[in-house]
Amino acid sequence: MKDKKSHLRFDFSVSQAGFILSLLFDFIILYFDIKIGLICLSLIVLLAIYNLRLNRKKNKQLLEYIETLTLNIDTASKDTLLKFPFPILISEYNGDIIWYNHKFLNTVKNKKLIGKNLKDEFPELYSAVLEGKNKIEKFEYEGAFFDVLVTVVEVEEGKNEKRFLNLFYFVDVTDFVILQKKYEIQNVVFGYLTIDNYEDVLNSAPEVSKSSIVSEIEKRITDWFYNQIRSDVFLMKYERDKYFFICNKEAFYKMQERRFNILEQIKEVNLYNKIIPTISCGIGIRQDSIFQAQKDAKTALDMALSRGGDQFVIFHDGKFEFFGGKTKEHEKRSKVRSRVMAQTIKEIVKHSDKIFIIGHQYFDLDCLGAAVGLSKLCLNLGKEVYIVINSYNPTIKNFLQVLLDDPQYQNIIIDQQKALKMKTKTSLLFVVDTQRTSYIDMPQMILEFEKIIVIDHHRRPADWIEQALICYSETYASSVSELVAELLSYEGIKLKKFEAEILLAGIMIDTRGFTKNVGVRTFEVATYLRENDAMPEAIKEYLKEDLESYILKSQLISNLEIIYSNIALVVDYSQVCRDNVIIAKVADELLNIKGIDASFVVCKIENSVLISGRSNGKINVQVILEKIGGGGHLETAGAKLENRSIEEAKEVLLKAIQEYINENRNI
């Protein structure tokens, strides 16, 4: 084959040289005799045309020869490959295509590929070779789907010469893929939809507008499902503020394409109502069981409501997906749930021999306040109680000392090792100020206890503590200290001065001195604590910054960047910060800059990158940081990234912010 190629190239070169010489001689003849010269020129042109056609014919023969016989294999093997019922492609190890059978030629619609490279024509196949894959599933080409088997073959060319070829076998699975997609579209989708603040919206409106508001909300919900989605959907109202719907996955995809914009459409209902209506929806998706889809939808709705409402939550394949949640939570007016919760927690404590209290990593003032409040409840019931602390925030150091100076609390603070030795089967574990398994200071404790109660004020994440007996999570609350103090007030428990001050300090820190996330019940709880001799002046004295912290804060703020014109970003490139409280304080401070709607501070402490986010309510920092594994509230959120450089963490954060901005542009 090599001889034939070189022979063809040689012939072509000779004919080219002869053509040039003939032209030179003809010009000489033309100089002496024009007529004879023209006759010769005509003959040369005819010969050139003939030679060109002959070369084309030879090239075509060569191409056909290569396509049918380029491998050093015997005739029987070659015949088998040619007549193989599946498309086959063979390339050099570097990706150069050298052979394919007629089935493959039909697949690519007679496209000539000999001599071309996989990298240009089939990048996915080329990548598979580089990665050493032996199978590519559902490879798509021109609307058809194939499972491609990849084999590397060693070919001997001489005594000491070897080369490697890539063999690709294409199995057509187009019909299967189409059938699978049709089946998937028919998956059962069950949803529960509820109006979050039905009573509050109606109570905020004049009497004459109430029926119009109800009618308008119902009209918008039915219009969205039946006229905007326009697919197979069954929607039914089963209570005045609750609906359920059943549809297939095709309808669900249409909802996703619209990014569940019914959330925004409902907020536009304004018929003299002072409170904006919001809705929450939980969706469950199952392949085979409408009953299981209904259970998943209920789980998803519970998740949506526990996160503050105004969102769609999809529960599919054991994972949650969130859409919406951009509206600030309104304080719940009814105290019934809180009173019931106080009584339930009290009964569980009574039937437990020992109680242990843990919080999130870097135990802070809100954690300590809640822990002290729960300890007081348990001590009042005559129970043995312990606060388990592994790592703590420096701001609680003075408060811890005050706590330990009291004889009743001298032995109350222990470490994990001692707690695990002391626990029994009837012991109870309280988890405060977090419900994320990844944020707990001592995750091992969760696995060791059968009875767990979670008390938190953050939106529920996907990795919440599912095995908890009770998850008392109220996102409207300013802090977990507020929730615990409210439980104590219902029991009429008299607090010592330092106990009340630690609880009040937890509230003051999380509300930034009663300026953020405060409601009527926050002040009611503060009144209860003040009645128990809590002194705000004493708390402020404990919370005063030292000079070093003040200078460090200024240092971090000097790294300020403004992005998207209204977001402040500080990245501690020099890694001078070693205190997560400073990070939060800097984030708070940045919101005082005119025109800033959100702030983010990024610092690396040991092997973790901590990100603190703050907002004035116009940007949902919780949604942004949730994209990178964090969480919190609309106005206050945080995230922790393990084993990342500070530059990588910044890029991840910027990407999440960009995604959030794009999502809000599309609504």
What are the tens digits of pLDDT across the range 73-108?
445 555 666 667 788 888 888 888 888 888 888 888
Report d(CA 667, CA 658) in Å as an integer.
15
pLDDT (mean) for 63-71:
50
Contact 451, 349 (CB under 8 A): no
Contact 321, 313 (CB under 8 A): yes
pLDDT (mean) for 67-77:
49
Q: Where are the beta strands (DSSP E) in 103-214?
A: 135-141, 144-156, 162-172, 188-195
Which of 662, 661, 651, 472 is closest to 569 using CA atoms?
651
What are the tens digits of pLDDT across the range 364-394?
899 999 999 999 999 999 999 999 998 888 7
pLDDT at 17: 66
Helix, strand or coil for residue 635? coil
CA angle 610, 613, 616 (to 5 degrees): 170
**Is the pLDDT confidence value at 43 over 70?**
yes
pLDDT at 7: 37
- The burial class, CB within 10 Å (0-12 / 13-18 / 19+), for 344 is middle
**Is the pLDDT confidence value at 42 over 90?**
no
Q: What is the DSSP letter of 496?
A: P
Helix, strand or coil for residue 572? coil
| 462 Cβ neighbours under 8 A, 6+ residues apart | 319, 320
3-state class percentages of the chain: helix first, strand second, coil last, to nearest 5? 50, 25, 30
Which phi-psi region, left, alpha or beta, contains residue 517 (left: φ > 0; alpha: ψ -120 to 50)? left
Residue 547's H or E segment, with its range, is helix 547-557
- Per-chain mean pLDDT for the chain: 84
Helix, strand or coil for residue 583? helix
| 487 Cβ neighbours under 8 A, 6+ residues apart | 338, 341, 342, 345, 373, 377
**Residues recorded for the chain:** 667
pLDDT at 10: 38
Helix, strand or coil for residue 148? strand
pLDDT at 332: 53
pLDDT (mean) for 336-365:
88
One-letter amino acid at 130 equals L
Whole-model pTM? 0.59
**Is the pLDDT confidence value at 333 over 60?**
no
What are the tens digits of pLDDT across the range 239-292?
999 999 999 888 898 998 888 999 999 999 999 898 899 999 999 998 778 898
Residue 346's H or E segment, with its range, is helix 336-350
Strands 567-571 and 598-605 come out as parallel
Which of 458, 249, 252 is closest to 370 using CA atoms?
458
pLDDT at 241: 94
Contact 599, 590 (CB under 8 A): yes
Strands 144-156 and 319-324 come out as unpaired
What are the tens digits of pLDDT across the range 125-143?
888 888 888 888 889 888 8
One-letter amino acid at 6 equals S
**Is the pLDDT confidence value at 443 over 50?**
yes
Strands 279-286 and 311-316 come out as parallel
% pLDDT > 90, the chain: 37
Confidence of residue 156 (pLDDT cuts 50, 70, 90): low
- How many other β-carbons are positioned within 10 Å of the β-carbon of residue 158? 7
Helix, strand or coil for residue 428? strand
pLDDT at 2: 40
What are the tens digits of pLDDT across the range 629-664?
888 878 888 898 988 899 999 999 999 999 988 887
pLDDT (mean) for 465-492:
89
**Token pair of 139 as six digits:** 């490879």
- How many other β-carbons are positioned within 10 Å of the β-carbon of residue 115? 10
What are the tens digits of pLDDT across the range 540-598?
888 887 788 888 888 899 989 999 999 999 999 888 887 777 888 899 889 989 999 99
**Is the pLDDT confidence value at 35 over 80?**
no
pLDDT at 153: 80
**CA 572 from centroid of its chain's CA atoms:** 25
**Token pair of 645 as six digits:** 């450089």
**Is the pLDDT confidence value at 69 over 50?**
no
What are the tens digits of pLDDT across the range 522-537?
999 999 999 999 998 8
Indicate if the alpha-carbon torsion angle 361, 362, 368, 369 is positive or negative. negative
**Is the pLDDT confidence value at 71 over 60?**
no
